[in-house]
Amino acid sequence: MTDIRVSEAAPASGAPVGRSATRIDARDKVTGKTAYGGDRAVLQDGLHARVVRAAHPHALVRRIETGPALAVPDVVAVYTGKDVPGTNLHGMIRRDQELLATSKVRYSGDAVALVVARTRQAAERASKLVVVDYEPLPGVFTIDEALAPDAAAIHLEGNILGHQRIRKGDALAAMAEADVVVETESATQSVDHAFLDTEAGVAYMDGEVLTIEAAGQWVHEEARLLALALGLPFERVRIIQPPTGGAFGGREDLGIQLYLGLAALLTGQRVELAFSRAESMIARHKRHPIRIRYRLGARRDGTILAAVVQVQADEGAYASTGKAVLRKAASHATGPYRVPNVHVDVTGVFTNNNPTGAMRGFGASQIAIAYEGAMDKLAEALGMDRVELRRRNLLLPGDAVTTSQILPVVSAQECMAAALEHIGWEGRSYETPAPHLKRGYGVSVVCFGLGYGDGFPDASRARVRFSDDGRLEVYTGAVEVGQGLVQMAAQVAAQAVGVTIDRVDVILADTARTPEAGSSSATRQTFFTGSAVRKAGVELRHQLLDIVGTLLPVHPDELDVADDACFERADPGRRVPLSAILLEGRRRGYSLEAEAIFEPRTICQDDDGQSVRAFVTYLFASHAAEVLVDVETGEVKVQKIVAVHDLGKAINPLAAAGQIEGGVVQGLGMALMEEVVRHRGRILNPNFTDYIVPTAMDVPEIVPVILENPDPIGPFGARGVGEPPLIGTPPAILGAIHDAIGIQISQTPATAERVWRTLQQAAGR
């Protein structure tokens, strides 16, 4: 069921923004015409690469013998770390991972050699003949093992990646004065991004320029990192993003681009490489497994006085984006609730597991499970209705979040009220078809900081121009990974300039042609790139008005542009078609193009984690869930999820509803079934047979509800949707399970076995 409720009136006739429209790229995708990375990696006359990965999760590399592999017919080369001409290092925040390991491997996905051959079969065969002499080292596979005094050191500095703290008020003193104090402990699992389009692509030398066609999430930063790793100047690396089937943060770290780039650079020939599903899952970073101890103190009337939060995160073998995830978890520790005294400590530790980094939610998804669980437990301890407890403590306009940033626009109360209304909270029934089935309801509220924040110089650039044949071209380095960015950019540009959307062409993510727009992550592209496109579009619109101002003739301020024509506001019948305006503009020497940058400022958190503007803006949402729990088997069946999201302005309401539904399904997977299973650092389920993701049979009735409270600086008031649909889903489901069985599930996923064992332990069995 799709129930899209928008709080504002429908857009005026012809207005592109706010209107549900079929995506520009939809037809080619559903008909199979779109060529993804894997489609481009099918060559007739190119070379084929194969990565040799570590045989141990933690070991010294003593020697690599490539002779047997080189002896295989059709093998062109076998490269090791000593062949890499640059730094041989990569990493999003700190360069601590080698392209090809030279002296040490730190997890089973580390690459030690690269085989290049004329056929796939030869590359595969030769990859098994590369001989590596390892000296195995003690492995570190859990947080406790990493923190043990005698733990093996994964990096020279030890096993601590970093700490993040928040100190607001005096939480310990306030806790001592509280009438009621509750404590919860929760642990979240390692989750794979599970995108359908596995890593694949091609690379080749275009003259002196190394050109790579493979999917990432930030083409310009990928080019910078590749240039460093391979010893090239930035201008000699070109990244072209092919159409991409999903990312969710899983393509932020460099991966396949490194091996394609090295092979093409050293051979001078066209090279293709494609990962299997197993290799994709074995090599790629994951969502952070996190354990959280959460304490809440409150007065008897339910007013929250303090929160004390301790978080430990498994960072895996390398830094990835781990420090940023730690900051996000800490800065969202109290979520949408008004808590005057906050004490948070977050620690990230290295292990010999896969690196952990960016994944939809970015630390906020794990912490939401903890704070909502603590709220439910506090309601129980107070003997208060859990919804009423939330109402009394939810942020209001002018309140401060965890980092002390004061928010002028807050819709938490409105979102929760809408979620409760659509789930039928007041009239909810606990009747079930059988005695062994128990029904429960849960609710969650989300407050999410958009963008990188914390003083990072985040920016997006865009260029718009009219082509010779009158098409409006939009150039942006932003990456489309399936979220609908092409459509968003087209609708915003059409609205800003005043043309119909069928006149717009969007040119994306090519470092040689498009201006930098930052990463497709952090729920930032609609807000950032949408704003850059709007600013550039408005500048171009002003050119049109100046041109027409002498044609009608009236002052440009008395004119408007819409639907491919310029007209006088006082007399709309007096109009000039766009074709005539462009012809006149070219005759008079107008550029008919404009470029803009959108670069809102945030402020670094201080040593106590405080900032007057840690994030450029915040998004609000609320989810309500209804579940049935089989107490005999532990199976949880989600019946319905209502997902209410304040988007500021929905650029394309139908597309936004699809994003909400997709996030809900991902959140359901995190809550109930998805888990990377390891034994001593080795993934035991690197496939979709054993790594369980939701199917159509698992998806419940989903009701997306869109609210619109315009953002002061977002494009036409828009903020975006991105991550919050996932963040809100697990705590709502877990709260519903708690409501059904009377016991909190402390570890995700809440599989049937885990729920059953929890029930058995509670019964003393």
Give long-range contacts, CB 8 A cutoff, 24+ apart: 391-395: 391/416, 392/301, 392/302, 392/303, 393/302, 393/303, 393/304, 393/337, 393/338, 393/339, 394/336, 394/337, 394/338, 394/445, 395/336, 395/337, 395/338, 395/447
Q: Are residues 478 and 495 in the same domain?
A: yes
* pLDDT the model gives residue 9: 36
> Domain check: are 446 and 522 in the same one?
no
pLDDT at 522 over 80: yes
**Long-range pairs, 741-744, Cβ under 8 A, ≥24:** 741/438, 741/440, 741/629, 741/631, 744/184, 744/373, 744/376, 744/377
Each residue of 337-393: pLDDT tens digit? Answer: 999 999 999 999 999 999 999 999 999 999 999 999 999 999 999 999 999 999 999
What the block records as the tokens of 300 is 């008897």
Question: CB under 8 Å to 188, separation ≥6 — which residues?
Answer: 287, 288, 289, 290, 291, 292, 365, 366, 369, 670, 747, 748
* Rg of the chain over all Cα atoms, to the nearest angstrom: 27
586 and 490 both lie in a single domain:
yes
For 167, the token pair is 């100190």
Amino acid identity for residue 367 in this structure: I
CB–CB of 612/453 below 8 Å?
A: no
Residue 587 lies in a domain: yes
Cβ(477)–Cβ(461) under 8 Å? Answer: yes
Q: SS in 3 state form for 440-485?
A: EEEEEEEEEECCCCCCCCCCEEEEEEECCCCCEEEEECCCCCCCCH
Quote the distance between the C-alpha of residue 90 and its chain's center: 20
Do 91 and 227 fall into the same domain?
yes
Q: Is residue 58 part of a domain?
A: yes
Q: What is the pLDDT of residues 116-137, one digit of tens each?
A: 999 999 999 999 999 999 999 9
Strand partners, 166: 344
- Inter-CA distances, 387 with 299, 307, 375, 725, Å: 17, 19, 10, 20
Of 319, 365, 367, 362, whose CA–CA distance to 346 is shortest? 367
Q: Is the pLDDT of residue 4 over 60?
A: no
DSSP secondary structure string for all residues of 513-568: TS-----S-TT-HHHHHHHHHHHHHHHHHHHHHHHHHTTTTS-GGGEEEETTEEEE
Instruction: Give the C-alpha separation, 41 to 38, whole Å.
Output: 5
| 132 and 260, same domain (yes or no) | yes
First to last CA, the chain: 41
* DSSP one-letter code for 81: G
- The beta strands (E) that lie in 124-187 are given as 131-136, 160-168, 180-187
Residue 274 in domain: yes
* 206 touches 269 (CB < 8 A): no
- Distance from C-alpha of 204 to C-alpha of 392, rounded to nearest angstrom: 60
Find the mean pLDDT for residues 198-217: 97
Domains contained in the chain, number: 3
Q: Which of 225, 252, 283 is the last residue of a domain?
A: 283
- Does some domain include residue 386? no
Tokens of 436: 């062994």
Euclidean distance between CA atoms 137 and 57, whole angstroms = 9
Same domain, 216 and 68: yes
Residues 436 and 370: their CA atoms lie apart, in Å, by 28
> What pLDDT is recorded for position 372?
98
Alpha carbon 700 to chain centroid distance?
23
Rounded CA gap, 226 and 253, in Å?
11
Q: Does residue 434 lie in a domain region?
A: yes
> How confident is the model over 502-520, as a mean pLDDT?
97
Q: Which helix (H) or strand (E) holds 741?
A: helix 724-741
Domain that holds residue 218: 37-138+194-283
Residues 6 or more apart in contact with residue 393 via CB below 8 angstroms: 302, 303, 304, 337, 338, 339
Please give the pLDDT value at position 41: 77
CB 102 within 8 A of CB 61: yes
In a domain, 220, yes or no: yes
3 and 46 fall within a common domain: no
CA distance 284 to 289: 15
pLDDT tens figures, 296-319: 999 999 999 999 999 999 999 999
Of the candidates 598, 623, 638, which is a domain's last residue? Answer: 598
434 and 484, same domain (yes or no) = no
Same domain, 725 and 617: yes
Do 626 and 755 reside in the same domain of the chain? yes
Instruction: Determine contact, residues 641/624, Cβ cutoff 8 Å.
Output: yes
In this structure, is residue 697 part of a structural domain?
Answer: yes
> Do residues 322 and 330 touch, judged by C-beta distance below 8 A?
no
**pLDDT tens digits for range 148-177:** 999 999 999 999 999 999 999 999 999 999
Rounded to whole angstroms, the Cα distance separating 279 from 249 reads 17
* Whether residue 747 is found in the same domain as residue 765: yes
How far from 607 is each of 167, 307, 339, 443, CA to CA, in Å? 9, 18, 19, 34
Give the domain CATH number at 114: 3.90.1170.50
CA distance 37 to 35: 7
Please say whether the beta carbons of 491 and 498 come within 8 A.
no
Residues 639 and 667 in one domain: yes
> In degrees to the nearest 10, what's the CA dihedral of 591, 593, 598, 599?
-40
Torsions phi, psi of 588, nearest 5?
Answer: -95, 5
pTM over 0.85: yes
Least confident of 9-23, 136-150, 251-265, 635-649: 9-23
Q: Which amino acid is at 374?
A: A
User: Taking 70 as the threshold, does the pLDDT of residue 5 lie above it?
Assistant: no
DSSP letter at 634 equals -
Which CATH number does the domain housing residue 680 bear?
3.30.365.10
Strands 472-476 vs 504-508: parallel, antiparallel or unpaired: parallel
Which pLDDT score is estimated for 1? 31
How many residues would you count in the chain? 765
Residue 166 near residue 342 (C-beta atoms within 8 A): yes
Query: Model confidence over 681-709: pLDDT tens digits?
Result: 999 999 999 999 999 999 999 999 999 99
The pLDDT tens digits of the residues spanning 580-624 come to 999 999 999 999 999 999 999 999 999 999 999 999 999 999 999
Q: What would the pLDDT profile of 218-247 be if each residue is shown by its tens digit?
A: 999 999 999 999 999 999 999 999 999 999
pLDDT digits (tens, 9 = 90+) for 30-53: 999 999 998 887 766 799 999 999
**Structural domain ending residue among the three candidates 531, 564, 598:** 598
Is 509 part of any domain? yes
Mean pLDDT of the chain: 96
In this prediction, residue 43 carries a pLDDT of 64
Q: Among 27-41, 375-389, 426-440, 637-651, name the one with the lowest average pLDDT.
A: 27-41
pLDDT (average), residues 756-765: 93
